[in-house]
Amino acid sequence: MKPTDSTSDADTGQPTVVSDGPEDTFSFETSGSTVEVTWSDRLQDFYEEFIYKPGLVAWDDRRTRIGAVIMFVYLLMGIPGAWFYPAPSTNQVKRGLGPFETLDAPLGSTGSGEDVLGMVIHATPEMLIMVVSGGIFATSVAVLIGTVAGYKGGAVDRALTSFSDVAMSIPGLPLVMVLAVVFRPRDPVLIGVLLTINYWAGLGRSIRSQVLTLREESYVEAARTMGVSTPRILLKDVIPNLMPFVLVNFANAARYVVFASVGLYYLGVLPSSVDNWGIQLENAYSQEGALVGGDALYQLIAPMIAIMGIALGLILLAQGLDRVFNPRVRTRLAGESEATAENEDRETNTEVNI
Amino acid sequence: MRMNSYYLKRTVRAVLTVWIVITITFGMIRLLPGGPLEQLRGKLLRQGVSPSRVNAMIESYQNVQPNQSILEQYYEYMTALLTGDLGQSFLQKEPVTAIIGDALPWTVFVMVMSTLLIFVIAIGWGALMAYWEGSTFDLVSSSASILFAAVPFYVLGIVLIIVFGYQLELLPTGHRLSPTVEPGLSLLFVLDAIDHAILPITSMVLTGAGLQVLAMRGNAIQVLGSDFVRVARLRGLSDRRISVRYVARNAILPMYTGFLTLIGFNLGGSIILEEVFSYPGIGYYMFQALEARDYPLMMGIFLIITVALVMAVYIADLTYGLIDPRVKSGDSREAY
Amino acid sequence: MVEYGDRNGESLDRRRFLQLAGAASTVTVAGCANLVSNGNDDNESPRHVSHVNQVPADIQWNSSNPANTPQITNRVLFDPFVKYNFSTGKFIPYAISEWNFGGDTFELTVRDGLTWSNGDDVTASDIATQLRIGLYTGEPYADFTESIKTPDDSTVKLQFDSTVNEQIVTFQILADRFVHQKESEFGTYLETLQNDEQKGLKQLGDFAYQEPIASGPFEHDSVGQEQLRLTLRDDHPDAEKINFDEYVFEYRESNQQAQQALQNGAIDSVFSLFVQTDILKNFPKKVTQIQTPSNWGYGLYPNHSDPHLGDRAVRQAIQYVINRAQVRDNVSPDSKTAPEYPVGIASDNQTEWLGDAVDDFDTYGVDSAKTKQATTVLEEAGYQKQNGTWVDSDGKTVELPIMVPSDWSDWNTATDTVVDQLTQFGFQATKETRSYDAMLGNVFPNGNFVIVAAGWLYGAPQGSFPYFSLYHQLVKNNDSVTYNYPAADSSRGGNRADVTVPARSGSGTMTVNPAERLSELAGSTDESTVNEITIEQAWVTNQDLPMLPVLEKVEQTFITGGEEWDIPKPDAEVAQVQWANTWLPRQGEMQYTGN
């Protein structure tokens, strides 16, 4: 057995940068202080505490760096790329060009003369919008329900928890498919929301139990005894301290959106009036005969790489961000509720298997 | 006493969940646009058939009374469900239960096998990675895990079909069985069924194991670093004993509920998987039903998957206390 | 009044009802057949392995029951009345060995020596039973048939209520019909139908015929989830022409799987399978492709109640802008053709029927986007281009969303191309998708579309006779699409109105009523009248464009020859039928020759 130092970072062996305990938990209201703090100071503090410091920690992790670079590439593809690169249209180049034959279609063309690279690039903006809207929807609903339930307790908690339970018990993908057929959503923002329609439930449960522990923290208790209103406590004291955890799950939700949306476009459940890698896959599969002939294989590979690339970027980001969050929570939740925390990790993991 | 009320609560919650989902599906069927009956109605009206005649024809054809109040319909729907009647598929002209009965075992076979393999691999591999933490093996394995997790299972499925099915022609590209093999208690049947399930299972396992391996690795490292392991080591217990009695147990435990719930989640994923592999399980039929707006079949399968999910969570809740003796108090115990 | 497909009587509504219910399951044949195969044959007695794209165990052989009706297997189990040959344009006698047209009568003679697989003779009364059932289930001949009698054991005589065109009668009664409803099995349903039509229709529609009594050379032996096994019947009149014992259908779900199975020899034949050029060239030499016309293909149905598409100018502009050859080449140059003239006549028959008049017809540019003409025609109608987009006189943009079945990949490619062509011209065109079932159930009957992709011809073999496709375009389309064309039948959203188009002579206009003129054609036995009306109505379709023709499909049937099977050359006359793999064995043209 190799001895390990309990305080070392579990994954990389790096020394833990973030210290434990309430002294580094941040509050806009410095617990009853009468000193007037200006907004810019607060923002400055917030930036220091929740963006700069965790960012530094995260950036220190190789995975975060690679993930960020990958995501940056997709941003480039989605914003300036889609702006400058010609949109795919039939007969823009010769039919059935192989990859790397001409600069007009670097990755080749389809049987109807569409530029394969153009198809990949022009699918990106919609995908990014879906990913962001799905991620924001899932995490914000989860945070709202999780914090309120955890903090308020009692009947509110029971009601919200039961609601989450039911939402969680409905199989996500089949539900989304039924809804997609009914509503035929076209707007990528709406599609993102639809795909995560019950994704938030598991996450909400995890956040609730985090809040349960947070609310016992002295500074929260102090705020409460001082008569600070609940929404204010939640907004100022509780939620900021959940941010890293939320970010990790944002990345996971985003990856789920990528997988589910491409899958549904591939099956033709979502209306195929836009460019999407799933539609590209489907076309290569059934129209171009990429399976049997082999000549059109490159038309399958291009969208596959695009899908895997963005998923990889999101996973790496999630894993990297996890480091900011986990050592703290692990120790904080250690003890009798340790198993709970572990289960929650499982939960966020299992759900991404569509 | 406390434990009993915990079980009772859990049971009530499971039943309640199923009831709510049934009610939702009942409502959804009625909200969905242009179900088969609506479609028939539209067609007939377009042909200039008088509305009263259209009603009479649809009634005689499908045995549905459109004039029933929503409550009566709901009552009939519930009582039918309680007697195990999920209705008649418009597409297949067969009872929905018959179709599900035929398809479900195949889906369960693939999904349970996949999930089982995912966890076996996750536990074994993750433990090894934790044991050799920081080594090249650990690094390579971690990277590979992340890479595989970045592949959607259906993409890997397509790749596997192309390589092993179409190019090398080593494995079938779809279906449950070969044309000449009929279900029965024969070795041929078993081998043929496995032959057809290899690719679907592989695509689920390889893409699903990545994150689970990393999770297990994290658990194991944490346990390895915890006080009681250090104490055990100081007491001079053998490595073997420590790894089995403390580490394995404490690292695997948290994964138990994940295992059960993952089976439920995977059942939902079977729609895409079975469509890619043209494997006629419940996901395959669900997709067919969706395409054809065969709502009874669609909702029947939807319900079955939901019940499976609820049951998985329920079983996880009930048995967790038996498996993890640390959990004493019912209220703080949450399966997820 | 004799008119194909017209029915007003109440009793006929139910026929239509069942017919429509059946449409959902049968149209799939036309769209895409997909199947597959892997695993190799075992070494049993000689057998032919073909392919089916339905789960064999689910198939039931009662064609009046819309669920799981067979698409190919019935053609081996049951003998066709006759066979239409595309190359000669003639009917070849088969189970009906002779037929006599008498203006308002039609006499069929049952083939001598034809038996059912249970040993009974096939009698006139069997044939009469199934024809009589057809009177209730909405078969087209029901419109003009007054009575069906059996003067003797081998003769069936149909009496019409007035004179009917011979070609139409022959196509309606003989083409695509099989000896499949034995009186002992189906007589009871006919009785119920005669007593209580509604009850009879329901009973018949619910009856799943699982163990069919065959009239064809092979009989039902066993069926499973993956294959259907048929065995040779020695007492069939053509049994001695067949030297293999089993005809097996293996289930393959997708096109790709069927292609692979053909490639590696797991199956010997496939009917109506779309195979891309790339894949075709990888097929072994022994796999023979037989191409037959489908008289069917990708067209666009404008919704004539749309403010823009109701305008002939917009329809013509669209037809001008679409470069049909480019669409064909994008989709699959091998299995699609671009019709020379946008008219209600199948590509192969256009010059034959239009004759000298053909020069008057507008091609709208087969292989070019005639943007100049399109611009002219639009501007004359008051449209103008604003910032690169066409708007009407009120300044409203011409929006052209084209709806297409999501599950038909070739039609999606065609639509992508058309959308791009229209967009380049300045129309605001987009593609919208729905599953084909959803279109059939919701979009078509309710007219929920601006433009919808659907077949612009009647389908084979009837489509070879122009009347059927003209009727399909102008009066009553096959797919029950409510396209609101004023001249069409009320069931298609029209009111059988007159149509005014420029005269073919070039000056002035002509006003005709398509519904009346086609009904006249259907009741005429005079060849010159038939020709005259055909050209006249073709002219109407060409000028008014009730539907916009784009592509015609070429059916691809594959049979493996090589050392194992002795089959005719791909272009042999005998193979020009639907479908060669079920017809050739009966002609002794598909013999097993070895290993």
Task: Dump pLDDT digits (tens) for C537-572.
Answer: 999 999 999 999 999 999 999 999 988 899 999 889
- Specify the CATH number for the domain of residue A286: 1.10.3720.10
Query: Is C205 in Cβ contact with B43 (below 8 Å)?
Result: no
From residue A230, give the alpha-carbon distance in Å to each of A144, A161, A203, A234, B150: 13, 19, 21, 6, 40
Positive/negative CA dihedral, C238, C244, C250, C255: negative
pLDDT interval class at A294 (50, 70, 90): low
Give the domains, in start order, of chain C with CATH numbers.
14-56+219-294+555-592 (3.40.190.10), 80-206 (3.90.76.10), 298-550 (3.10.105.10)
How much is the average pLDDT of A64-87? 92
- Identify the pLDDT of residue A342: 38
DSSP summary character for residue C275: -
The Cα C483–Cα C478 span in angstroms is 12
pTM of the model: 0.84
Query: Is A171 in Cβ contact with B154 (below 8 Å)?
Result: no
Positive/negative CA dihedral, C157, C158, C159, C165: negative
Residue at token pair 């070849």: C92
What confidence tens digit (pLDDT) does each residue in B219-276 have?
888 787 777 777 777 777 777 777 777 777 777 777 776 777 787 778 888 999 999 9
User: Chain B: residue nearest A350 by CA?
Assistant: B262
From residue B118, give the alpha-carbon distance in Å to each of B111, B139, B201, B205: 10, 20, 10, 5
How much is the average pLDDT of B283-307? 86
Are B281 and C225 in contact by the 8 Å Cβ rule? The answer is: no
In a domain, A314, yes or no: yes
Q: Collapsing DSSP states into helix, strand and coil, what is residue B171? A: coil
Q: A65-74, A280-289, C232-241, C365-374: lowest mean pLDDT where?
A: A280-289
Q: A60-64, A106-110, C35-39, C393-397: lowest mean pLDDT where?
A: C35-39
How much is the average pLDDT of C196-205? 82
Query: Is C226 in Cβ contact with B172 (below 8 Å)?
Result: no
The Cα C521–Cα C538 span in angstroms is 13
Query: Is C329 in Cβ contact with A272 (below 8 Å)?
Result: no
Burial degree of C26 (CB within 10 A; 0-12, 13-18, 19+): middle
Would you call C224 an interface residue with chain B, using a CB distance cutoff of 8 Å? yes
The Cα C547–Cα C549 span in angstroms is 6
Cα three-residue angle B321-B325-B330, rounded to 5 degrees: 40
CA C257 to chain centroid: 25
Query: Which of B1-5, B165-169, C519-523 has the highest average model confidence (pLDDT)?
Result: C519-523
Instruction: Please name the residues between 258 and 297 in chain C that touch chain B, using a CB distance below 8 Å.
Output: 260, 264
- Identify the pLDDT of residue B336: 31
Would you call C291 an interface residue with chain A, using a CB distance cutoff of 8 Å? no
- Identify the pLDDT of residue C586: 95
The Cα B143–Cα B213 span in angstroms is 11
B87's CB contacts (< 8 A; 6+ apart) are: B80, B95, B96, B296, B300
What confidence tens digit (pLDDT) does each residue in C324-346 have?
999 999 998 888 999 999 999 99
Q: Determine which of C34, C36, C256, C287 to mutate to test the interface with A (most A C-beta atoms within 10 Å).
A: C256
B304's CB contacts (< 8 A; 6+ apart) are: B100, B104, B282
Give the number of beta-carbon pairs within 8 Å between A and C. Answer: 79
The Cα B99–Cα C76 span in angstroms is 28
Average pLDDT for chain A: 77
Query: Which residues on chain A place their C-beta less than 8 Å from a C-beta of chain C?
Result: 89-91, 95-96, 111-114, 181, 268, 271-273, 282-283, 285-289, 291-296
User: Of C279, C407, C412, which is closest to A293 when you measure between CB atoms?
Assistant: C279
How much is the average pLDDT of C159-186? 93
Q: How many CB atoms lie within 10 A of CB C446?
A: 18
Q: Checking DSSP bridges between strand C218-223 and strand C246-251, what pairing results, if any?
A: unpaired
Beta bridge partners of C121: C115
The Cα C502–Cα B199 span in angstroms is 63
How much is the average pLDDT of A269-283? 87
How much is the average pLDDT of C359-371? 93
Q: Which of A178, A180, A175, A202 is nearest to A191 (CA)?
A: A180
- Identify the pLDDT of residue A132: 94
Write down how long chain B is. Answer: 336
Residues of B whose CB is below 8 A from C20:
43
B327's CB contacts (< 8 A; 6+ apart) are: A339, B320, B321, B333
Q: SS3 for C308-377, per residue?
A: CCCCHHHHHHHHHHCCHHHHHHHHCCCCEECCCCCCCCCHHHHHHHHHHHHHHCCCCCCCCCCHHHHHHH
From residue C583, give the alpha-carbon distance in Å to each of A67, C72, C76, C182, C568: 62, 11, 8, 22, 12
The Cα A70–Cα A254 span in angstroms is 14
Q: A204-208, A301-305, B124-128, C37-41: lowest mean pLDDT where?
A: C37-41
* Res. B331: pLDDT tops 70: no
Q: How many CB atoms lie within 10 A of CB B156?
A: 21
Chains that touch C (3 or more CB pairs under 8 A): A, B
- H/E stretch holding C90 reads strand C90-93
Would you call C441 an interface residue with chain B, using a CB distance cutoff of 8 Å? yes
What confidence tens digit (pLDDT) does each residue in A16-55 have?
333 333 444 444 444 444 455 677 877 787 777 666 776 7
User: Of B142, B230, B272, which is closest to A267 when you measure between CB atoms?
Assistant: B272
pLDDT interval class at B31 (50, 70, 90): low
What confidence tens digit (pLDDT) does each residue in A225-265 have?
888 887 777 777 777 778 778 888 898 899 999 999 999 99
Between C34 and C467, name the one with better pLDDT: C467
Where helices occur in C33-182 by DSSP H, the ranges are 74-77, 124-136, 166-174
Are B176 and C225 in contact by the 8 Å Cβ rule? The answer is: yes
The token duo for A221 is 């208790």
- Identify the pLDDT of residue A70: 95
Are B149 and B211 in contact by the 8 Å Cβ rule? The answer is: yes
The token duo for B297 is 């079949």
- Identify the pLDDT of residue A195: 93
Positive/negative CA dihedral, A78, A83, A89, A92: negative
Between A27 and C295, name the one with better pLDDT: C295
Are C257 and C32 in contact by the 8 Å Cβ rule? The answer is: no
Query: Is B151 in Cβ contact with A336 (below 8 Å)?
Result: no
Q: Is the peptide bond before C461 cis (omega within 30 degrees of 0)?
A: yes
Burial degree of A38 (CB within 10 A; 0-12, 13-18, 19+): exposed
- Identify the pLDDT of residue C328: 95
- How are the residues of chain A apportioned to helix, strand and coil, as percentages rounded to the nearest 5? 70, 0, 30
Instruction: Please name the residues between 319 and 348 in chain C that touch chain A, using a CB distance below 8 Å.
Output: 326, 329-332
Are C25 and C69 in contact by the 8 Å Cβ rule? The answer is: yes
Average pLDDT for chain C: 87
How much is the average pLDDT of C255-263? 88
In a domain, A92, yes or no: yes
Q: Determine which of C255, C336, C436, C558 to mutate to test the interface with A (most A C-beta atoms within 10 Å).
A: C255
In a domain, A112, yes or no: yes
* Res. A350: pLDDT tops 60: no
The token duo for A218 is 């002295």
Beta bridge partners of C400: C429
Residues of A whose CB is below 8 A from B271:
173-174, 177, 267
In a domain, A25, yes or no: no
* Res. C6: pLDDT tops 70: no
* Res. C117: pLDDT tops 80: yes
ipTM of the complex: 0.83
Q: Collapsing DSSP states into helix, strand and coil, what is residue C391? A: strand
Are A299 and A108 in contact by the 8 Å Cβ rule? The answer is: yes
CA distance B6 to chain C (A): 46
- Identify the pLDDT of residue C21: 36
Would you call C446 an interface residue with chain B, using a CB distance cutoff of 8 Å? yes
How much is the average pLDDT of B35-43? 56
Return the amino acid letter for C181. Q
Q: What is the domain range of residue A151?
A: 52-322
Chains that touch B (3 or more CB pairs under 8 A): A, C
pLDDT interval class at B217 (50, 70, 90): confident
- Identify the pLDDT of residue C36: 32
Are C557 and C576 in contact by the 8 Å Cβ rule? The answer is: no
Would you call C409 an interface residue with chain A, using a CB distance cutoff of 8 Å? yes
Radius of gyration of chain B (CA): 25
In a domain, A13, yes or no: no
- Identify the pLDDT of residue B3: 58
- H/E stretch holding C428 reads strand C428-434
In a domain, A45, yes or no: no
Positive/negative CA dihedral, C324, C327, C333, C335: negative
pLDDT interval class at B53 (50, 70, 90): low
* Res. A136: pLDDT tops 80: yes
Q: Which of C185, C183, C184, C202 is nearest to C193 (CA)?
A: C202
What confidence tens digit (pLDDT) does each residue in A335-345 have?
333 333 333 33
Residues of B whose CB is below 8 A from C256:
166, 173
Are C458 and C468 in contact by the 8 Å Cβ rule? The answer is: yes
Q: Which of C372, C403, C371, C429 is nearest to A89 (CA)?
A: C429
The Cα B222–Cα B238 span in angstroms is 19
The Cα C466–Cα C339 span in angstroms is 14
Q: Collapsing DSSP states into helix, strand and coil, what is residue C446? A: helix
Residues of chain B with CATH 1.10.3720.10: 104-293
Would you call C225 an interface residue with chain B, using a CB distance cutoff of 8 Å? yes
How much is the average pLDDT of C174-178? 90
Would you call B55 an interface residue with chain C, using a CB distance cutoff of 8 Å? no
pLDDT interval class at C174 (50, 70, 90): very high
Q: Output A326-329 pairs: Cβ under 8 A, ≥24 positions apart.
A: A326/A10, A327/A9, A327/A10, A327/A16, A327/A18, A327/A20, A328/A18, A328/A20, A329/A210, A329/A245
- Identify the pLDDT of residue A37: 62
Average pLDDT for chain B: 79
Query: Is A268 in Cβ contact with C433 (below 8 Å)?
Result: yes
C255's CB contacts (< 8 A; 6+ apart) are: A286, C32, C33, C34, C35, C273, C274, C275
- Identify the pLDDT of residue C282: 84
Q: Which fold has domain B104-293?
A: MetI-like fold (1.10.3720)
- As for how many domains chain A has, the answer is 1
- Identify the pLDDT of residue B68: 67
* Res. B59: pLDDT tops 60: no
CA distance A112 to chain B (A): 23
Positive/negative CA dihedral, C534, C538, C539, C540: positive
User: Of B46, B169, B172, which is closest to C264 when you measure between CB atoms?
Assistant: B169
Residues of C whose CB is below 8 A from B47:
13, 16, 491
The Cα C382–Cα C244 span in angstroms is 68
What confidence tens digit (pLDDT) does each residue in C51-107 have?
998 888 888 998 877 677 788 999 999 999 999 999 999 999 999 999 999 999 999
Are B73 and B63 in contact by the 8 Å Cβ rule? The answer is: no
- Identify the pLDDT of residue B308: 85
